[in-house]
């Protein structure tokens, strides 16, 4: 049997490594390089002291023993992430660089067929259990059970099953895209200290090896996987909204949606300025709904100007978040909650707000197989929410529209 090493646990699936055996990595030099970069991060300096320093050093020593000889790229990727995750900092990352298909390749049938003949495809991890039996077992799972059959967009169904109490695996059951075939493992995820999941997975199109951290599994959804037959997903019902949206719902209620606060796009910065100028004198209602669902954050220069406007309005603020509300949008949520009478509704946020990336400097490791992006911004005052997220005052039901529920709460308050 071959072994898939993930999160420090050896899972035995009778599978091959994602990479061919010829692709080995001098992982120890990469580990040393990673540790050097981690020590420069604000999160390391704030957290790695006392017992945490001992744990960090012990982890390094244990991992070093597994790297005496070159190991597979996949195993090295997993072990490097183990060292990184001793620090509670969900902005920092280690990424594998290898990709196998471009965006155009993914939609080209001939290139799909060519990829099927590669070692990367042939050696991809496979689930050992009979697929018909697995599917039969998962079909009878209740809607509330983590295990079950999930849709990944409209092109795949994935069976999610437990390996143990804290670990789940996603197995491709059907796929209309030839670069994935039934039986291949799509991801392995382990529950972390915050009750969320850290996922070792593969990019759906490029097949790049990924680590996606701190994912919420709730309401029959984890990341882009949605349980088959589950239509109760109003936490993400924002597809048709523009990035900056304002509505006068009635005489007493106004609604504003902020999709992202990113300043990396000149287009979004211009849109922010237009929106701000158009509405800076327009917040006049008794109640204002601030919708931050799936806002991944950005720059406070695009979020915080609205704090002054909302305070000046003397309105009662209702801020709505979901598990994809992250980074600066989480910080903005906490600032909104300080406005007198404000109420936070919806779902607990992502939990990635105590540190950040300003310059975005990334470094290739000595082996050339990985890219490290350390954090360089210090928001440690929010550390109590890192990983955990910001919990709402009122959880909203997943089976009904969240704006409608918020309006009902406003009526009750009136």
Whole-number pLDDT of residue 235: 86
Q: Give the separation between CA 353 and CA 381, rounded to whole angstroms.
A: 10
Whole-number pLDDT of residue 269: 93
Whole-number pLDDT of residue 239: 67
**C-beta separation of 106 from 202 below 8 A:** no
Residues 178 and 289 in one domain: no
Among the candidates 215, 230, 245, a domain finishes at: 230
128-167: b (≥16 Cβ within 10 Å) or e: eeebeebbeebeebeeeebbbbbbbeeebbbbbbeeeeeb
Q: Give the separation between CA 123 and CA 117, rounded to whole angstroms.
A: 10
Note the pTM of the prediction, 2 decimals: 0.92
Tokens of 90: 């969900």
Closest CA to 186 of 214, 216, 207, 165: 207
Residues 177 and 314 in one domain: no
Indicate whether 27 belongs to any domain: no
Expressed as residue numbers, the domain containing 276 is: 234-353+389-413
Summarize pLDDT for 199-232 with one digit per residue, the tens.
999 999 999 999 999 999 999 999 999 999 888 8
Residues 118 and 184 in one domain: yes
Tell me which residues of the chain have a pLDDT lower than 50: 1-21
Number of domains in the chain: 2
To 10 degrees, what angle do helices 73-84 and 50-65 make? 170
Residues 135 and 256 in one domain: no
Residues 111 and 258 in one domain: no
Summarize pLDDT for 292-311 with one digit per residue, the tens.
999 999 999 999 999 999 99
């Amino acid at each position: 049997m071959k072994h898939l090493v993930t999160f420090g646990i050896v899972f035995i699936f009778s599978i091959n490594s994602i990479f061919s055996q010829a692709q080995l990595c001098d992982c120890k030099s990469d580990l040393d390089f990673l540790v050097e970069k981690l020590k420069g991060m604000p999160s390391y300096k704030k957290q790695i002291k006392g017992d945490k320093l001992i744990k960090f050093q012990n982890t390094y020593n244990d991992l070093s023993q597994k790297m005496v000889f070159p190991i597979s790229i996949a195993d090295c990727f997993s072990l490097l992430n183990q060292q990184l995750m001793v620090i509670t900092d969900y902005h920092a990352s280690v990424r594998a660089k290898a990709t196998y298909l471009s965006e155009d390749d993914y939609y080209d049938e001939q290139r799909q067929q060519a990829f099927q003949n590669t070692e990367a495809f042939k050696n991809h991890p496979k689930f050992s259990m009979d697929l018909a039996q697995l599917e039969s077992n998962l079909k009878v799972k209740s809607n509330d059970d983590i295990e079950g059959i999930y849709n990944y967009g409209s092109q795949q169904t994935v069976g999610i099953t437990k390996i143990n109490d804290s670990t789940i695996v996603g197995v491709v059951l059907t796929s209309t895209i030839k670069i994935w075939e039934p039986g291949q493992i799509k991801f392995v995820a382990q529950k972390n200290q915050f009750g969320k999941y850290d996922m070792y997975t593969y990019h759906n199109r490029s097949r790049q090896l990924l680590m996606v951290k701190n994912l919420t599994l709730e309401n029959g959804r984890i990341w882009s996987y949605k349980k088959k037959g589950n239509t109760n997903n109003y936490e993400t019902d924002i597809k048709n909204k523009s990035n900056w949206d304002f509505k006068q719902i009635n005489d007493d209620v106004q609604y504003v949606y902020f999709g992202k606060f990113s300043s990396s796009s000149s287009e979004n910065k211009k849109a922010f300025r237009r929106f701000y100028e158009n509405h800076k004198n327009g917040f006049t209602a008794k109640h204002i709904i601030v919708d931050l669902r799936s806002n991944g954050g950005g720059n406070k220069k695009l979020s915080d100007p609205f704090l002054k406007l909302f305070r000046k309005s003397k309105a009662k603020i209702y801020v709505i978040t979901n598990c994809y509300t992250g980074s600066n949008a989480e910080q903005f949520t906490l600032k909104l909650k300080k406005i007198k009478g404000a109420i936070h509704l919806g779902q607990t946020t992502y939990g990635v707000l105590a540190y950040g990336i300003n310059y975005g400097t990334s470094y290739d490791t000595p082996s050339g197989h990985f890219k490290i992006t350390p954090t360089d911004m210090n928001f440690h005052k929010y550390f109590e929410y890192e990983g955990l997220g910001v919990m709402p005052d009122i959880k909203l039901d997943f089976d009904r529209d969240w704006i409608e529920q918020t309006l009902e709460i406003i009526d009750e308050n009136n």
